Amino acid sequence: MRKLTYLLFILLAILALLTACQHNPSNPTEKGDLPISINLAPAIAHNLQVSLVRVTITKGDYTDQLDLPIAGSTAEGIFEDLEIGTYAIDVDMFDDSLLIATGSGTGMVRPGETTTVYITLHFVPGGLEIVVNWGLPYADSRRVLFVGNSHTYYNGGVDVHLQSLINAAHPEWNAVVDAQTMGGYTLEQHYNDQNTLNAIAGGDWDLVILQEQSSRPMNYPDLFYQYSTLLNGVINASGAMTGFYMTWAWRNNPEMYEPIRDAYNYIGAYLDALVIPAGVAYHNASYDTLSFNLYATDNYHPSLYGTYLVSCLMLAGIWNVNPIGNSYIPAGIDAPSAAYLQSLAWETVQAESSKARPVLPPETPAWLYPVPQPWPEDADLAALAM
């Protein structure tokens, strides 16, 4: 009898524990839905007969696809039980089996919040309604490698200035920041350069940040995506995470801003990778009131001020460390200018991490997107050591 009572007591204790776990899980898995609604009226107005709208979402290794039911001039559907994070979104529009339009987008919200945001797809003016969350472990990085070209190594190098900033903010971290660069290099050239592959594989890096040749994300987005993905595989195989250093529009071609911005944001979401929004910070700068120039005299490369701004953005974007008040200021930059750049970097990173940005598709039918001005050929770009 005593033994039976003892066993019954244990059974009741186990049942109580299971009940408690059900009501108070110690590690709940956050999930979210991604409802999508696309207005087809503008496409219909252009005499496009839309019979199928197929949406594919991607986040790292995860992908899912949904054919949206069409009712009148609207296509709607919902992806359910998704993990938190940022999702790359691709839309294909068909007339029977004929592909008639494509578009891409991304969406994200701040950690711990559930926010509805809208992303306009310009191939079909309308919106995607996204409910997701955001959060990646880059702040634990202590060894960081930059892979790029002169946009990285100008003015002593983003890596050198970032090393000084992080040493001033957290010397106890013993962080190491280095770079593998070559003038005029694309990510395609880096992928085919054994020196770059060796640098990635042999450095025990936590984070490798990729910087593409400045106009290629706009002029050749497919090649940018292809070699970003290939290098991401090399980086992940080495045990590191991938990040991207978004560059800016050339000063005399401001139309470059949105295509470059959106290409970086898209590949960042597609690979579940960090994007440092240097191009956005350049765009946000108050040029009318600045007493200095973020551009070098060629109007492409960064000046020392621009390189310092990028370094402050890296400090804020990688580690969420506020650069405002950081004691490191390069020789040649006065304190008021440094304070402005520190503030611009922090505000840009905070704004970009707390909202979803409109994203233009990398490839868009000409009738729905203005044709950009012609750009110099690659040979000219290489001569400029972009």
Question: The domain that contains 37 carries what CATH number?
Answer: 2.60.40
Q: pLDDT value at position 372?
A: 32
Domain of 342 in residue numbering reads as 138-353
Q: pLDDT value at position 46?
A: 67
Question: Which position has the token pair 């919902």?
Answer: 78
Query: If you average pLDDT over residues 115-139, what whole number do you get?
Result: 50
Residue 177 domain flag: yes
pLDDT at 3 over 60: no
Q: pLDDT category, 83, cuts 50, 70, 90?
A: confident
pLDDT in tens, 194-247: 999 999 999 999 999 999 999 999 999 999 999 999 999 999 999 999 999 999
Joined together, the tokens standing for residue 149 give: 């070209």
User: Are residues 76 and 56 part of one domain?
Assistant: yes
pLDDT at 21 over 60: no
Q: pLDDT category, 35, cuts 50, 70, 90?
A: confident
pLDDT in tens, 250-293: 999 999 999 999 899 989 988 889 999 999 999 999 777 888 99
C-alpha triplet 38, 41, 44: angle, nearest 5°: 120
* Domain end point (choices 135, 152, 180): 135
pLDDT at 23 over 70: no
Share of the chain above pLDDT 70, in %: 74
Helices marked H in the chain — which ranges?
2-23, 41-45, 150-153, 158-169, 187-191, 194-202, 216-219, 221-237, 257-270, 278-284, 304-319, 335-353, 378-383
User: Are residues 130 and 66 part of one domain?
Assistant: yes
pLDDT in tens, 174-196: 999 999 999 999 999 999 999 99
Q: How many domains does the chain have?
A: 2
Q: CA 16 → CA 7, 22, 25, 26, 360, distances in Å?
A: 14, 10, 13, 15, 54
pLDDT at 17 over 70: no
What are residue 56's phi and psi, to 5 degrees?
-120, 130
Which residues have a Cβ under 8 Å from the Cβ of 149 and sit 6 or more positions away?
A: 181, 182, 183, 184, 185, 186, 211, 213, 385, 386
pLDDT at 27 over 50: no
pLDDT at 15 over 80: no
Given a contact cutoff of 8 angstroms between Cβ atoms, the answer to whether 111 and 139 are in contact is no
Residue 377 domain flag: no
Residue of 193, 219, 257, 147 lying closest to 378 (CA atoms)? 219
Q: pLDDT value at position 107?
A: 58
pLDDT in tens, 303-326: 999 999 999 999 999 998 999 999
Residue 82 domain flag: yes
